[in-house]
């Protein structure tokens, strides 16, 4: 037992002696990210609008340093993501070569002790770098006379737990393959596989679903299954609980202003324990002769083949479809592209796993058939809209507010009449021909639902459809809609005008306006904005190169949203002497 223990220590010392450069690189980056940054924040000149007393300046510097320490944790999540796979590759790289793995397994020490010794070496190197960074940062604070150990302890705890999780993840990935370069492929693949599938299905839905608004904010499940994204988000100082100076003076920390931070890190650390245990099980079950195999466990090979082939078939097939058949919802064309790309990927992976080009046998054909059935099923399910996404329309009483945008027109309203008009337009859009050939008008809207949820849609509206045309016209002319907002701050500054000016970009002419002229122009712009609006007005490009500023005692109304159809405002501007382009010269 003493000999085995001594051999384990020898393995740890050997790993330290051979692999210290990677730890040094991590410590070098950490040195500039923490101690050097803390010194610069504490010794640099304060950029303050008011002069502070010595005590106030001391508190402000301490607050700035605490903010930096907490805000650096998101960056350290990414650094630990990279460090985890790097350490796993060098610590378990001997498993990838027949000579080295045979030599290591011939040592008078059990596999369990070897595995734990290598993992302990990696964690000790990581911990040593973190402790050195912690002590140097504390030294910098001491030299500056601004010692606040709590943020540094939180930084040390979080980086240690993140480092443990990612190193355990990397060790698990190293157990699955006999190729050194396959370790980072598997590692990053598993880290981002759920996010990748989410993005691919988003793209397919955008092609096949009418009204689909792609979401670039993944749901909770997708985020949790993408560790680095979840960690970087959970370790940020979110609004509205911003870590401000007042909260800092009251003793607030990252864990108090962002209650999600500590549970998230602890959960991933517990998951890391499970990953480490699974890696140990695989290490014990792994045969030395599998060094050099792409995937060392036969039962894992079909999983790898199908995960890669399905993802590549969906992603690459969609990419090829967008290149050659962009502009329609041709589900058959999409399926053909995905079947071809998925089949090519499957054959390529099969060649790598077998180490041979001779793969076209009964087993391969059955595997290809199963893959194609999965790809076809995914496309058909999306096309048939098994979730009911395309026909889903909320009831007006379920909606708290609506937002609507279309070619410069914008509506943001809580008015019940506007909400009802929006819902009616939505219903008309779900019934229009999805493959209409008329000139479309692009519009998008968002419902704020009662209870805090939301719902968004984006359509190409067919104005040749009478129901769509009438519903859109009704929405645009709702009194509470104010669609063509010629005065973005309408009513915000009152009507006590002091003067202003009007300018023509085309001629360079500028005229001064009196208070009386500003009042008249303001009412003319209101009359133009309240005039009946037709849907075709939304994509007219007859804007004039005119800027108008009307000053009041409280602020200024400024707009360059003047069109040839604004007859009231244009008549007054001509009367006041502004030279305008000839009618029709700006329409496209």
Strand spans (E) along 526-568:
546-552, 556-559
Q: What is the mean pLDDT of residues 481-492?
A: 67
Q: What is the pLDDT of residues 148-178, one digit of tens each?
A: 999 999 999 999 999 999 999 999 999 999 9
Residues 229, 265, single domain; the answer is: yes
Residue 586 lies in a domain: no
Q: Does residue 376 share a domain with residue 281? A: no
The answer to whether residues 462 and 433 touch, using CB atoms and an 8 Å cutoff, is yes
Q: In Å, what is the CA distance from 509 to each residue of 400, 513, 564?
A: 46, 13, 18
Q: Which of 4-18, 269-283, 561-575 has the highest mean pLDDT?
A: 269-283
pLDDT at 421: 92
Q: For the beta carbon of residue 438, count every other beta carbon within 10 angstroms.
A: 12
Contact between residue 306 and residue 342 where contact means Cβ atoms under 8 Å apart: no
Cα separation of 106 and 102, whole Å?
6
Instruction: Using pLDDT thresholds of 50, 70 and 90, give the confidence band for residue 481.
Output: low
Is 400 found in the same domain as 331?
Answer: no
Q: What is the mean pLDDT of residues 42-55?
A: 65
Helix (H, G, I), strand (E, B) or coil at 500: strand
Q: What is the mean pLDDT of the chain?
A: 87
Q: Which residues contact 221 (CB under 8 A, 6 or more apart)?
A: 194
Residue 52: per-residue pLDDT: 63
Q: Which two tokens stand for residue 392?
A: 């889903």
145 and 72 in a common domain: yes
Q: Which of the pair, 115 or 452, is modelled with greater confidence?
A: 115
pLDDT at residue number 488 = 65
Alpha helices in 32-53 (DSSP H): 37-43
- Clarify whether residues 39 and 135 are in a common domain: yes
Report the alpha-carbon distance of residue 417 to residue 422 in Å, rounded.
9
More confident residue, 533 or 194: 194
To which H or E segment does residue 420 belong?
Answer: helix 416-431
Q: Per-residue DSSP letters for 211-235?
A: T----SS--HHHHHTSHHHHHHHHT
What is d(CA 339, CA 160) in angstroms, rounded to the nearest whole number?
45
Whether 177 and 198 map to the same domain: the answer is yes
pLDDT band at 328 (very low <50, low <70, confident <90, very high): low
* pLDDT (0 to 100) of residue 588: 37
Report residue 480's pLDDT band, with 50, 70 and 90 as the boundaries: low
Crossing angle between the packed helical segments 227-234 and 261-285, to the nearest 10 degrees: 160
Question: Domain check: are 197 and 344 in the same one?
Answer: no
pLDDT tens per residue across span 526-579: 888 777 877 877 666 667 888 889 999 888 888 877 877 778 888 998 899 888
Q: Does 147 map to a domain?
A: yes
- Helix axes 111-144 and 54-91, enclosed angle (nearest 10): 160
Specify whether 229 is located in the same domain as 341: no
Q: What is the pTM of this model?
A: 0.80
Domain count, the chain: 4
Residues 24 and 29: their CA atoms lie apart, in Å, by 9
Name the pairing type of β-strands 440-449 and 399-406: antiparallel
238: confidence class by pLDDT, cuts 50, 70, 90 = confident
Which one, of 377, 294, 296, 298, lies nearest residue 342 by Cα?
377
Residues 279, 350 within the same domain: no
Which residues pair with residue 401 across a beta bridge? 448
Helix axes 149-175 and 227-234, enclosed angle (nearest 10): 170
Query: Is 80 exceeded by the pLDDT of residue 499?
Result: yes
What is the pLDDT at residue 336?
94
Q: Is 587 domain-assigned? A: no
Q: How many CB atoms lie within 10 A of CB 91?
A: 26
Angle at 42 (CA atoms; ends 40, 43), nearest 5 degrees: 65
292-296, 325-329, 484-488, 576-580: least confident range: 484-488
CB atoms within 10 A of CB 585: 11
Q: At which residue do the structure tokens 């804007």 appear?
A: 543
503-521 tens-digit pLDDT: 988 888 899 999 999 999 9
- Cα dihedral sign, 192-195-197-200: negative
Q: What is the pLDDT of residue 438?
A: 65
In a domain, 29, yes or no: yes
The pLDDT of residue 141: 93
Q: What is d(CA 204, CA 470) in angstroms, rounded to the nearest whole number? A: 31
- For residue 403, give both structure tokens: 């937002």
DSSP 460: E
Residue 1 has pLDDT above 50, yes or no: no
453 has a pLDDT exceeding 90: no
Residue 138 has pLDDT above 70, yes or no: yes
Alpha carbon of residue 105 to chain centroid: 45
528 domain residue, yes or no: yes
| pLDDT 10s digits, 335-364 | 999 999 999 999 999 998 888 888 889 999
**What proportion of the chain, given as a percentage, has pLDDT over 90?**
52
| Domain final position from 290, 311, 333 | 290
Instruction: Quickly count helices (H) and strands (E) in the chain.
Output: 19, 8
Mean pLDDT to the nearest integer, 210-232: 87
- CA distance linking residue 337 with residue 345, whole number of Å: 12
List Cβ neighbours of 287 (8 Å cut-off, separation of 6 or more).
296
Q: Which residues contact 57 (CB under 8 A, 6 or more apart)?
A: 46
Residues 199, 300: Cα–Cα separation, whole Å? 25
pLDDT at 540: 64
Q: Give the least confident one: 243-252, 369-378, 422-431.
A: 243-252
User: By the 8 A CB rule, do 343 and 368 touch?
Assistant: yes
Q: How far is CA 145 from the centre of its chain?
A: 40
DSSP state of 195: H
Q: Work out the pLDDT band at 369, boundaries 50, 70, 90.
A: very high
Same domain, 266 and 312: no
For residue 433, give its domain range: 396-476
What is the average pLDDT across 58-68? Answer: 88
Residue pointed to by tokens 């030279």: 579
Of the candidates 542, 533, 502, the residue with the CA atom closest to the CA atom of residue 520: 502
Closest CA to 545 of 500, 577, 508, 588: 508
Q: How many Å apart are CA 516 and CA 529, to the nearest integer?
A: 20
The CA R_g of the chain, rounded to the nearest whole Å, is 32
Phi, psi of 557 (to 5 degrees): -90, 120
67 belongs to a structural domain: yes
Exposure string of 285-321, with b = 16+ CB inside 10 Å and e = fewer, is: ebeeebbebbbbbeeebeebbbebbbbbbbbbbbebb
Last residue of a domain, one of 270, 290, 310: 290
> Across-strand partners of 543?
563
Residues 449 and 567 in one domain: no
Q: What is the mean pLDDT of residues 317-333?
A: 83
Distance (Å, rounded) from C-alpha 68 to C-alpha 79? 16
The answer to whether residues 425 and 547 belong to one domain is no
Last residue of a domain, one of 260, 290, 320: 290
* Residue 137 located in a structural domain: yes
Which of 275, 292, 284, 380 minimizes the C-alpha distance to 334? 380
d(C-alpha 285, C-alpha 299), whole Å: 12
Residue 78 counted as domain residue: yes
* E strand or H helix that includes residue 442: strand 440-449
Distance CA 307, CA 319 (A): 18
Q: What is the pLDDT of residue 3?
A: 46
């Amino acid at each position: 037992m003493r000999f085995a223990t001594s051999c384990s220590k020898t393995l740890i010392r050997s790993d330290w002696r051979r692999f210290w450069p990677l730890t040094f690189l991590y410590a070098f980056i950490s040195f500039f990210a923490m101690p050097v940054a803390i010194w610069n924040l504490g010794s640099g000149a304060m950029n303050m609008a008011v002069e502070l007393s010595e005590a106030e300046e001391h508190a402000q510097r301490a607050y700035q340093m605490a903010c930096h320490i907490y805000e650096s944790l998101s960056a350290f999540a990414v650094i630990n993501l990279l460090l985890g796979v790097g350490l796993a590759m060098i610590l378990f790289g001997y498993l990838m070569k027949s000579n080295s793995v045979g030599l290591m397994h011939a040592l008078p020490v059990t596999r369990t002790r070897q595995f734990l010794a290598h993992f302990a070496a990696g964690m000790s190197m990581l911990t040593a770098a973190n402790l050195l960074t912690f002590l140097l940062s504390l030294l910098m604070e001491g030299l500056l006379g601004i010692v606040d150990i709590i943020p540094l302890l939180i930084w040390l705890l979080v980086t240690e737990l993140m480092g443990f999780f990612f190193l355990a993840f990397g060790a698990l990935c190293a157990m699955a393959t006999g190729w050194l370069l396959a370790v980072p492929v598997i590692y990053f693949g598993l880290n981002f596989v759920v996010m990748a599938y989410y993005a691919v299905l988003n793209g397919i839905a955008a092609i096949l679903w009418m009204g689909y608004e792609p979401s670039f904010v993944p749901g909770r499940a997708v985020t949790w299954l993408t560790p680095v994204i979840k960690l970087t988000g959970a370790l940020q100082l979110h609004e509205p609980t911003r870590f401000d100076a007042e909260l800092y003076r009251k003793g607030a920390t990252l864990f108090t202003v962002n209650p999600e931070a500590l549970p998230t890190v602890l959960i991933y650390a517990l998951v890391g324990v499970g990953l480490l245990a699974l890696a140990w099980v695989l290490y014990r079950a792994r045969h030395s002769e599998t060094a050099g195999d792409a995937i060392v466990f036969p039962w894992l090979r079909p999983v790898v083949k199908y995960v890669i082939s399905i993802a590549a078939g969906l992603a690459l097939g969609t990419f090829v479809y967008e290149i050659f058949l962009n502009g329609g919802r041709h589900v058959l064309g999409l399926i053909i592209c995905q079947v071809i790309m998925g089949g090519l990927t499957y054959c390529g992976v099969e060649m790598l796993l077998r180490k041979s080009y001779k793969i076209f046998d009964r087993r391969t054909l059955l595997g290809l058939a199963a893959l194609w059935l999965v790809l076809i099923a995914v496309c058909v399910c999306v096309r048939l809209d098994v979730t009911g996404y395309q026909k889903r329309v909320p009831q007006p009483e379920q909606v708290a507010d609506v937002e609507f945008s279309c070619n410069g027109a914008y509506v943001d309203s809580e008015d019940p009449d506007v909400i009802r008009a929006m819902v009616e337009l939505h219903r008309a859009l779900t019934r229009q021909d999805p493959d209409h050939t008329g000139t479309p008008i692009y519009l998008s809207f968002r419902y704020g639902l009662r209870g805090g949820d939301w719902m968004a849609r984006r359509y190409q509206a067919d104005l040749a459809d009478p129901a769509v045309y009438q519903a859109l016209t009704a929405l645009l002319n709702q009194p509470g809609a104010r669609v063509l907002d010629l005065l973005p701050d309408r009513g915000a500054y009152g009507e006590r005008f002091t003067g202003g000016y009007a300018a023509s970009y085309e001629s360079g002419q500028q005229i001064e306006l009196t208070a009386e002229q500003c009042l008249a122009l303001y009412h003319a712009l209101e009359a133009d904005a309240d005039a009946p609006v037709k849907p075709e007005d939304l994509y007219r490009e007859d804007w004039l190169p005119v800027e108008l500023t009307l000053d009041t005692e409280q602020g200024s109304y400024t707009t360059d949203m003047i069109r040839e159809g604004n007859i009231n405002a244009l008549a007054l501007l001509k009367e006041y002497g502004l030279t305008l382009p000839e009618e029709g010269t700006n329409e496209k």
